[in-house]
Chains A and B, each alone.
Chain A
Amino acid sequence: MTLTLNHYLLVSGLLFSIGFAGVLLRRNIIIIFMCLELMLNAANLSLVAFSRFNVGADGLPNFNAQVLTFFIITVAAAEVAVGLAIIVALYRARQTTHVEDITTLKF
Protein backbone atom coordinates (compact mmCIF):
# COMPACT_ATOMS: atom_id res chain seq x y z
CA MET A 1 0.00 0.00 0.00
CA THR A 2 1.87 3.05 -1.24
CA LEU A 3 0.63 6.61 -1.12
CA THR A 4 -0.17 8.27 -4.43
CA LEU A 5 -0.83 11.86 -5.42
CA ASN A 6 -4.54 11.08 -5.58
CA HIS A 7 -4.60 10.28 -1.84
CA TYR A 8 -3.41 13.76 -1.01
CA LEU A 9 -5.71 15.40 -3.57
CA LEU A 10 -8.67 13.51 -2.11
CA VAL A 11 -7.85 14.61 1.44
CA SER A 12 -7.35 18.18 0.23
CA GLY A 13 -10.66 18.14 -1.64
CA LEU A 14 -12.49 16.70 1.36
CA LEU A 15 -11.04 19.42 3.60
CA PHE A 16 -12.15 21.98 1.03
CA SER A 17 -15.69 20.59 0.94
CA ILE A 18 -15.87 20.64 4.76
CA GLY A 19 -14.90 24.31 4.69
CA PHE A 20 -17.36 24.93 1.86
CA ALA A 21 -20.19 23.26 3.79
CA GLY A 22 -19.29 25.37 6.82
CA VAL A 23 -19.48 28.60 4.82
CA LEU A 24 -22.89 27.58 3.46
CA LEU A 25 -24.53 26.29 6.63
CA ARG A 26 -23.10 28.30 9.51
CA ARG A 27 -24.59 31.71 10.27
CA ASN A 28 -21.93 33.06 12.63
CA ILE A 29 -19.48 35.30 10.76
CA ILE A 30 -16.49 34.19 12.85
CA ILE A 31 -17.15 30.51 12.10
CA ILE A 32 -17.59 31.34 8.42
CA PHE A 33 -14.21 33.02 8.58
CA MET A 34 -12.60 29.92 10.13
CA CYS A 35 -14.10 27.80 7.35
CA LEU A 36 -12.54 30.15 4.79
CA GLU A 37 -9.19 29.41 6.44
CA LEU A 38 -9.88 25.68 6.11
CA MET A 39 -10.51 26.12 2.39
CA LEU A 40 -7.27 28.10 1.92
CA ASN A 41 -5.35 25.38 3.74
CA ALA A 42 -6.92 22.68 1.57
CA ALA A 43 -5.57 24.50 -1.50
CA ASN A 44 -2.15 24.73 0.19
CA LEU A 45 -2.10 20.98 0.86
CA SER A 46 -2.73 20.16 -2.80
CA LEU A 47 0.00 22.61 -3.86
CA VAL A 48 2.54 21.02 -1.53
CA ALA A 49 1.54 17.55 -2.74
CA PHE A 50 2.06 18.64 -6.37
CA SER A 51 5.40 20.15 -5.38
CA ARG A 52 6.59 16.84 -3.94
CA PHE A 53 5.13 14.84 -6.84
CA ASN A 54 6.86 16.83 -9.61
CA VAL A 55 10.47 15.99 -8.79
CA GLY A 56 12.69 17.84 -11.27
CA ALA A 57 15.81 16.71 -13.13
CA ASP A 58 17.96 17.68 -10.12
CA GLY A 59 16.06 15.22 -7.95
CA LEU A 60 14.47 17.91 -5.79
CA PRO A 61 10.81 18.89 -5.35
CA ASN A 62 9.43 21.79 -7.35
CA PHE A 63 10.03 24.69 -4.98
CA ASN A 64 7.96 27.17 -7.01
CA ALA A 65 4.83 25.55 -5.57
CA GLN A 66 6.19 25.90 -2.04
CA VAL A 67 6.91 29.59 -2.64
CA LEU A 68 3.33 29.99 -3.87
CA THR A 69 2.11 28.30 -0.69
CA PHE A 70 4.26 30.69 1.32
CA PHE A 71 2.57 33.62 -0.45
CA ILE A 72 -0.87 32.16 0.20
CA ILE A 73 -0.10 31.83 3.93
CA THR A 74 1.09 35.45 4.00
CA VAL A 75 -1.97 36.77 2.19
CA ALA A 76 -4.23 34.65 4.43
CA ALA A 77 -2.64 36.15 7.55
CA ALA A 78 -3.22 39.69 6.23
CA GLU A 79 -6.76 38.71 5.27
CA VAL A 80 -7.50 37.41 8.77
CA ALA A 81 -6.29 40.66 10.33
CA VAL A 82 -8.41 42.86 8.05
CA GLY A 83 -11.45 40.56 8.21
CA LEU A 84 -11.47 40.39 12.00
CA ALA A 85 -11.12 44.18 12.19
CA ILE A 86 -14.18 44.47 9.93
CA ILE A 87 -16.06 42.00 12.15
CA VAL A 88 -15.22 44.07 15.24
CA ALA A 89 -16.36 47.26 13.49
CA LEU A 90 -19.54 45.49 12.41
CA TYR A 91 -20.20 44.24 15.95
CA ARG A 92 -19.71 47.74 17.27
CA ALA A 93 -22.26 49.12 14.81
CA ARG A 94 -24.87 46.33 14.99
CA GLN A 95 -24.13 44.29 18.18
CA THR A 96 -24.33 41.03 16.21
CA THR A 97 -22.13 38.55 14.37
CA HIS A 98 -25.08 36.71 12.87
CA VAL A 99 -25.29 37.05 9.10
CA GLU A 100 -29.09 36.94 9.05
CA ASP A 101 -29.22 40.17 11.06
CA ILE A 102 -27.07 41.99 8.52
CA THR A 103 -29.27 42.54 5.50
CA THR A 104 -28.55 46.10 4.37
CA LEU A 105 -26.87 44.91 1.19
CA LYS A 106 -29.39 42.14 0.57
CA PHE A 107 -31.19 42.34 -2.75
Chain B
Amino acid sequence: MNPILFYLFSILMLGFGIAVVANRNPVASAMSLVVSFFCLAALYVGLDAYFLASIQVVVYAGAVMVLFLFIIMLLDLKAEQRRKFNKLAIGGGALVALAFAAQLVGVLGSHPRGDKPFPELKLPVGESLNDLQHVGETLFSLHTLPFQVIGVLILVATIGVIVISKRELK
Protein backbone atom coordinates (compact mmCIF):
# COMPACT_ATOMS: atom_id res chain seq x y z
CA MET B 1 0.00 0.00 0.00
CA ASN B 2 1.11 3.48 -0.72
CA PRO B 3 2.36 4.93 2.61
CA ILE B 4 0.57 8.23 1.96
CA LEU B 5 -2.76 6.42 1.58
CA PHE B 6 -2.02 4.35 4.66
CA TYR B 7 -1.38 7.45 6.76
CA LEU B 8 -4.40 9.26 5.31
CA PHE B 9 -6.83 6.46 6.06
CA SER B 10 -5.27 5.61 9.43
CA ILE B 11 -5.51 9.21 10.61
CA LEU B 12 -9.07 9.51 9.30
CA MET B 13 -10.04 6.25 10.98
CA LEU B 14 -8.51 7.18 14.34
CA GLY B 15 -9.87 10.74 14.16
CA PHE B 16 -13.42 9.57 13.54
CA GLY B 17 -12.91 6.90 16.22
CA ILE B 18 -12.15 9.70 18.67
CA ALA B 19 -15.23 11.53 17.35
CA VAL B 20 -17.35 8.47 18.24
CA VAL B 21 -16.20 8.77 21.86
CA ALA B 22 -16.24 12.57 22.05
CA ASN B 23 -19.61 13.40 20.45
CA ARG B 24 -22.50 14.17 22.80
CA ASN B 25 -25.09 13.35 20.16
CA PRO B 26 -25.52 9.58 19.58
CA VAL B 27 -26.52 10.11 15.92
CA ALA B 28 -23.28 12.01 15.26
CA SER B 29 -21.38 9.20 17.00
CA ALA B 30 -23.02 6.62 14.75
CA MET B 31 -22.17 8.64 11.63
CA SER B 32 -18.54 8.96 12.76
CA LEU B 33 -18.51 5.20 13.25
CA VAL B 34 -19.63 4.71 9.63
CA VAL B 35 -16.74 6.86 8.33
CA SER B 36 -14.32 5.04 10.61
CA PHE B 37 -15.46 1.67 9.24
CA PHE B 38 -15.16 2.90 5.65
CA CYS B 39 -11.56 3.94 6.31
CA LEU B 40 -10.91 0.53 7.87
CA ALA B 41 -12.26 -1.08 4.68
CA ALA B 42 -9.79 1.06 2.71
CA LEU B 43 -6.96 -0.27 4.91
CA TYR B 44 -8.15 -3.82 4.15
CA VAL B 45 -7.92 -3.05 0.43
CA GLY B 46 -4.36 -1.89 1.03
CA LEU B 47 -3.65 -5.28 2.63
CA ASP B 48 -5.02 -7.13 -0.44
CA ALA B 49 -8.09 -8.37 1.48
CA TYR B 50 -10.71 -7.26 -1.05
CA PHE B 51 -13.36 -9.71 0.10
CA LEU B 52 -13.10 -8.59 3.73
CA ALA B 53 -13.17 -4.94 2.63
CA SER B 54 -16.47 -5.47 0.83
CA ILE B 55 -17.86 -7.50 3.75
CA GLN B 56 -16.81 -4.70 6.07
CA VAL B 57 -18.73 -2.13 4.04
CA VAL B 58 -21.82 -4.31 3.60
CA VAL B 59 -22.09 -5.70 7.12
CA TYR B 60 -20.73 -2.89 9.28
CA ALA B 61 -21.27 0.30 7.34
CA GLY B 62 -24.56 -1.10 6.03
CA ALA B 63 -26.43 -3.50 8.29
CA VAL B 64 -24.97 -2.81 11.72
CA MET B 65 -25.09 0.96 11.37
CA VAL B 66 -28.69 0.92 10.12
CA LEU B 67 -29.53 -1.12 13.23
CA PHE B 68 -27.74 1.39 15.46
CA LEU B 69 -29.44 4.40 13.88
CA PHE B 70 -32.80 2.62 14.02
CA ILE B 71 -32.44 2.03 17.77
CA ILE B 72 -31.20 5.59 18.40
CA MET B 73 -34.23 6.99 16.57
CA LEU B 74 -36.54 4.56 18.36
CA LEU B 75 -35.38 5.62 21.82
CA ASP B 76 -35.79 9.23 22.77
CA LEU B 77 -32.30 10.25 23.89
CA LYS B 78 -32.77 14.00 24.19
CA ALA B 79 -32.62 13.95 28.00
CA GLU B 80 -29.40 11.94 27.95
CA GLN B 81 -27.53 14.68 26.08
CA ARG B 82 -27.95 17.25 28.82
CA ARG B 83 -26.18 15.19 31.43
CA LYS B 84 -22.81 16.29 32.72
CA PHE B 85 -19.74 14.18 32.21
CA ASN B 86 -18.26 12.59 35.30
CA LYS B 87 -14.78 14.13 35.61
CA LEU B 88 -13.35 11.17 37.50
CA ALA B 89 -14.55 8.73 34.84
CA ILE B 90 -13.08 10.86 32.03
CA GLY B 91 -9.72 11.19 33.78
CA GLY B 92 -9.59 7.51 34.66
CA GLY B 93 -10.67 6.34 31.21
CA ALA B 94 -8.21 8.59 29.40
CA LEU B 95 -5.42 7.56 31.78
CA VAL B 96 -5.99 3.82 31.29
CA ALA B 97 -6.21 4.23 27.50
CA LEU B 98 -3.03 6.35 27.39
CA ALA B 99 -1.21 3.81 29.57
CA PHE B 100 -2.34 1.08 27.18
CA ALA B 101 -1.15 3.06 24.14
CA ALA B 102 2.22 3.82 25.78
CA GLN B 103 2.67 0.16 26.66
CA LEU B 104 1.85 -0.72 23.06
CA VAL B 105 4.44 1.69 21.66
CA GLY B 106 7.02 0.22 24.03
CA VAL B 107 6.25 -3.36 23.02
CA LEU B 108 6.23 -2.58 19.29
CA GLY B 109 9.50 -0.66 19.63
CA SER B 110 11.22 -3.82 20.88
CA HIS B 111 9.63 -6.12 18.31
CA PRO B 112 12.18 -6.47 15.48
CA ARG B 113 10.30 -9.34 13.77
CA GLY B 114 7.48 -7.00 12.90
CA ASP B 115 9.81 -4.25 11.74
CA LYS B 116 10.12 -5.67 8.23
CA PRO B 117 8.25 -4.60 5.10
CA PHE B 118 5.43 -6.77 3.83
CA PRO B 119 6.70 -9.53 1.48
CA GLU B 120 5.64 -9.41 -2.14
CA LEU B 121 2.92 -11.79 -3.31
CA LYS B 122 3.97 -14.32 -5.92
CA LEU B 123 1.22 -14.40 -8.50
CA PRO B 124 1.13 -15.89 -12.01
CA VAL B 125 2.07 -13.30 -14.62
CA GLY B 126 -0.85 -11.16 -15.70
CA GLU B 127 -3.18 -12.33 -12.90
CA SER B 128 -4.42 -10.40 -9.91
CA LEU B 129 -5.09 -11.89 -6.47
CA ASN B 130 -8.37 -13.81 -6.44
CA ASP B 131 -8.80 -13.67 -2.70
CA LEU B 132 -12.52 -14.50 -2.70
CA GLN B 133 -11.76 -17.91 -4.21
CA HIS B 134 -9.01 -18.61 -1.68
CA VAL B 135 -11.08 -17.47 1.30
CA GLY B 136 -13.95 -19.65 0.10
CA GLU B 137 -11.71 -22.68 -0.39
CA THR B 138 -10.22 -22.25 3.09
CA LEU B 139 -13.64 -21.68 4.64
CA PHE B 140 -15.29 -24.73 3.09
CA SER B 141 -12.38 -27.15 3.40
CA LEU B 142 -10.54 -26.44 6.65
CA HIS B 143 -13.24 -24.61 8.60
CA THR B 144 -16.49 -26.33 7.64
CA LEU B 145 -17.54 -27.15 11.21
CA PRO B 146 -17.05 -23.60 12.56
CA PHE B 147 -18.99 -22.33 9.55
CA GLN B 148 -21.96 -24.53 10.45
CA VAL B 149 -21.70 -23.55 14.11
CA ILE B 150 -21.83 -19.90 13.03
CA GLY B 151 -25.02 -20.68 11.14
CA VAL B 152 -26.58 -22.13 14.31
CA LEU B 153 -25.34 -19.09 16.25
CA ILE B 154 -27.12 -16.71 13.87
CA LEU B 155 -30.30 -18.78 14.18
CA VAL B 156 -30.06 -18.63 17.98
CA ALA B 157 -29.45 -14.87 17.82
CA THR B 158 -32.50 -14.39 15.59
CA ILE B 159 -34.76 -16.37 17.93
CA GLY B 160 -33.23 -14.65 20.96
CA VAL B 161 -33.92 -11.19 19.53
CA ILE B 162 -37.55 -12.10 18.88
CA VAL B 163 -37.98 -13.47 22.40
CA ILE B 164 -36.30 -10.44 24.02
CA SER B 165 -38.31 -7.97 21.95
CA LYS B 166 -41.69 -9.42 22.92
CA ARG B 167 -43.86 -7.08 24.89
CA GLU B 168 -44.18 -9.06 28.12
CA LEU B 169 -41.08 -10.69 29.51
CA LYS B 170 -42.09 -13.40 31.94
- Contact status B47-A25, CB under 8 Å: no
- Contact status A34-B68, CB under 8 Å: yes
A79 to B17 CA separation, bound complex (whole angstroms): 20
- Contact status A55-B60, CB under 8 Å: no
Contacts of B44 in A (CB 8 A): 45, 48
- Contact status A15-B17, CB under 8 Å: yes
- Contact status B108-A27, CB under 8 Å: no
B117 contacts partner chain A, Cβ-Cβ < 8 Å = yes
Can you list 19 A-B contacts (CB < 8 A)?
A4-B117, A11-B13, A11-B43, A13-B100, A20-B96, A20-B100, A25-B85, A27-B89, A31-B29, A34-B30, A34-B68, A38-B36, A63-B134, A64-B143, A75-B153, A76-B60, A84-B71, A97-B75, A97-B80
Nearest-CB distance from A68 to chain B (Å)? 9
Contacts of B3 in A (CB 8 A): 1-3
Majority DSSP secondary structure for residues of A touching B: helix
Contacts of A18 in B (CB 8 A): 14, 17-18, 20-21, 97
A102 contacts partner chain B, Cβ-Cβ < 8 Å = no
- Contact status A38-B80, CB under 8 Å: no
Nearest-CB distance from A9 to chain B (Å)? 6
Majority DSSP secondary structure for residues of B touching A: helix
- Contact status A76-B160, CB under 8 Å: no
- Contact status B18-A73, CB under 8 Å: no
- Contact status B49-A52, CB under 8 Å: yes
- Contact status B117-A3, CB under 8 Å: yes
By beta carbon, the residue of chain A nearest B161 is: A85
B6, B92, B139: the one contacting A7 at CB < 8 Å is: B6
Nearest-CB distance from A69 to chain B (Å)? 6
- Contact status B36-A77, CB under 8 Å: no
Name 7 extra pairs, CB < 8 A, besides A24-B93, A63-B138, A86-B164: A31-B26, A55-B120, A59-B122, A63-B134, A71-B146, A82-B164, A84-B67
Q: Nearest 7 A-B pairs (CB), nearest first?
A: A59-B122, A25-B93, A24-B93, A21-B97, A78-B157, A22-B21, A5-B114
Given contacts A28-B26, A30-B72, A38-B17, contact A17 B83 (CB under 8 A): no
- Contact status B20-A38, CB under 8 Å: yes
Nearest-CB distance from A95 to chain B (Å)? 9
- Contact status A34-B20, CB under 8 Å: yes
Q: Which of A24-58 contact B (CB under 8 A)?
A: 24-28, 30-31, 33-35, 37-38, 41, 44-45, 48-49, 51-53, 55, 58
Contacts of A22 in B (CB 8 A): 20-21, 93
By beta carbon, the residue of chain A nearest B167 is: A92
